[in-house]
Amino acid sequence: MVRRVVITGMGIISPIGIGLEIFWNAVKTEQCGIDSITRFDASLLPCRVAGEVKNYNGENYFDKRFLQRTGLFSQFAIVAGQEAWRDSGLDRFSFDDPNRCGVLLGNGVGGLEVDDESHYKLYDKGCSKIPAMTIPKMIANEAAGNLSMFLGIRGSAHVIVTACASGGDAIGFALDRIRCNRADVMLAGGTESAITEYGIGGFCQLKALSTGFNNTPQRASRPFDKNRDGFVMGEGAGIIVLEELEHAQQRGAKIYAELAGYGATADAYHLTAPSPDGEGGARALRLALRDAELQPEEIDYINAHGTSTPTNDPVETRSVKTAFDQHAYKLAISSTKSMIGHTLGAAGGIETIITALAVRDNFFPATLNLDTPDPECDLDYVPNKGRQGEIRAALSMSLGFGGHNSVIAIKKF
């Protein structure tokens, strides 16, 4: 018998709030966290807007010595991971075998701000001025390593890197570890902090970022809208506690929802562009449905990848139509990237949290700035205003550079 897996804890740090309750209230009230970049002088860049995490002060969470040797993306993971752990009640539970608990996080680029700083010092003052902790602060695995150390988790601690599908894949891999009886509890999700001059500049050179809304930043991320012109960078972390059902029930844990299935595919098409026919995304959707033992007609909501790029949105629409046929027109679909931007490797974690809460509360989050629908995007994208409606089961979809497609299936428990 396949072991069932449920979500018993959640933690988040995002451009629209730090902490689960604040964040979810912001989603339900259509708040937007995208604004002009403040972390550095972006005046000479084509894109000058981003979804920065506001009011974050590392000294509220860590001592100064720890901050000096830890990248921002890793700090985000620890803050969100500790909240998820507390929320699950595991901080009050005598966890008898820490070897049966693991960490699986997604990340796209690691400590990009650390990389920036160290390169400046290398070229300005020479190798001897590179900070000694540069490598430990920069490498992607440090997020999972630090989180496991903070919580005393001694099972596996891994980081998945599949670009913008990383967070979703991490959750899918964690699901499999519990199902295969390699763990009873897993912390899973994604973390990212890539809003640097190098990060924004690099994506600008790819012509991937929005450049036409610098004077109206909250209008810049507009998934499925005819006038979209690129994605907006976001940052943050979304981490959940996954637990084997009987393990959760035996300790009386609250259960948000059941993590029922996972599907992943590769387009095998292009380094940055999705396959135009959406076939890879459609296969991932079907695999997630099959894994969850769900029929297409049982899905009521999809949290779309919805990047607001000219290429992604129509391709993703084709994926949904291919996988769901006529039921595609009965689905509610939204892109919450319109509120927080595209958080890259953290997106799958943050959006799985949104999807689970949507299922729990029977609420369809809005897609902001959807004023003039693209004729190629003709499904119900919940424009501008969220609404109540029954959600029996839902999917969270993440698509990454390199053709990585990841879909998470969540059932009401």
CATH code 3.40.47.10 region(s) in the chain: 5-250, 261-411
Q: What are phi and psi of 93, to 5 degrees?
A: -105, 135
Asked whether residue 122 carries a pLDDT value surpassing 80, the answer given is no
pLDDT at 345: 97
Residues 6+ apart with CB under 8 A from 174: 102, 104, 183, 186, 187, 188, 242
Q: What are phi and psi of 102, to 5 degrees?
A: -135, 175
Report residue 93's pLDDT band, with 50, 70 and 90 as the boundaries: low
The tokens 């752990």 sit on which residue? Answer: 85
Residue-wise pLDDT for 126-136, tens only, equals 787 777 777 88
Residues in a beta bridge with 301: 332, 394
Mean pLDDT, range 342-363, rounded to an integer? 98
pLDDT at 249: 96
Residue pair 19/83 in contact (Cβ under 8 Å)? The answer is yes
Strands 236-244 and 257-266: unpaired
Report residue 2's pLDDT band, with 50, 70 and 90 as the boundaries: confident
pLDDT at 94: 60
Asked whether residue 96 carries a pLDDT value surpassing 80, the answer given is no
CATH class of 261-411: alpha beta
Residue-wise pLDDT for 311-324, tens only, equals 999 999 999 999 99
- Catalytic (active-site) positions: 164, 305, 342
Report residue 308's pLDDT band, with 50, 70 and 90 as the boundaries: very high
pLDDT at 62: 96
Residue-wise pLDDT for 193-244, tens only, equals 999 999 999 999 999 999 999 999 999 999 999 999 999 999 999 999 999 9
Asked whether residue 32 carries a pLDDT value surpassing 90, the answer given is yes
Asked whether residue 342 carries a pLDDT value surpassing 90, the answer given is yes
Residues in a beta bridge with 303: 334, 396
Mean pLDDT, range 242-268, rounded to an integer? 96
Report residue 254's pLDDT band, with 50, 70 and 90 as the boundaries: very high
* C-alpha triplet 358, 279, 406: angle, nearest 5°: 40
The CATH code of the domain at 5-250 is: 3.40.47.10
Asked whether residue 72 carries a pLDDT value surpassing 70, the answer given is yes
Query: Which range has the worst mean pLDDT, 38-52, 87-101, 250-264?
Result: 87-101
